[in-house]
Structure 1
Amino acid sequence: MITTDRCDVEVAFETRNHKGHFIQERIAELQPLRGQCFSNFYLYLALKALEASQSRSSSLKAIRYLLQAVKYDPSLPRRRQFLTLLTLVKAFLGVLFSPQIARQQLSLIKKQRQVIAQ
């Protein structure tokens, strides 16, 4: 016959409960990073959508992905200003103009930026 002392059972429960509490604390500490990870992922998807083709539908997908990125991390436009602005400009050019005109406009912007940098 196996007998267990009540104190041993209580100690085992408290130890298990303590470990669970420890895990809960770690999960709570990592929650802010979750939003940033999802935000970076959606920003990546937006850039890949623009890179894949210069069609209107891919530009709309890029805008949707960028909005999702900002939803998960509202500080994204402040943290990554240039990348966010570049994605928006490329996407809106793709929506408003044909692919040929959008490429021409992007090359003009790139040339102007190089002149300003010098």
Structure 2
Amino acid sequence: MLTDRVRLLGDEHPDTLTSRANLAAAYWQAGRTNDAIPLLKKVLTDRVRLLGDEHPNTLTSRANLAAAYWQAGRTNDAITLLKKVLTDRVRLLGDEHPDTVAAARVLGVWRAAA
């Protein structure tokens, strides 16, 4: 799917980014975190460039990369990235938004485990 979307729609089309993110999620779910991380990085880089640093899809991409880092044992990278997600979500969505609450909860768990 990703190959076809890149060929037909181009590398920057929103559907192409979604396909890349979905492939990364499939790798991640299959335990292939090292295959998922480069795709997640590309999705994040493209979303920052195309949508901006504060777009909800960009924040989600950043949170997904943080989770992949955590799964790969890159604890410091994961915590640093999720702290940025939490800071941005508090500022943009407020303290009580479900996405903010979820990021705060996960960050607390990761800090306790680290």
State the TM-score, normalizing by the size of structure 1: 0.42
Largest Rg, 1 or 2: 1
State the TM-score, normalizing by the size of structure 2: 0.43
Pick 1 or 2: higher relative contact order, CA cutoff 8 A, min separation 6: 1
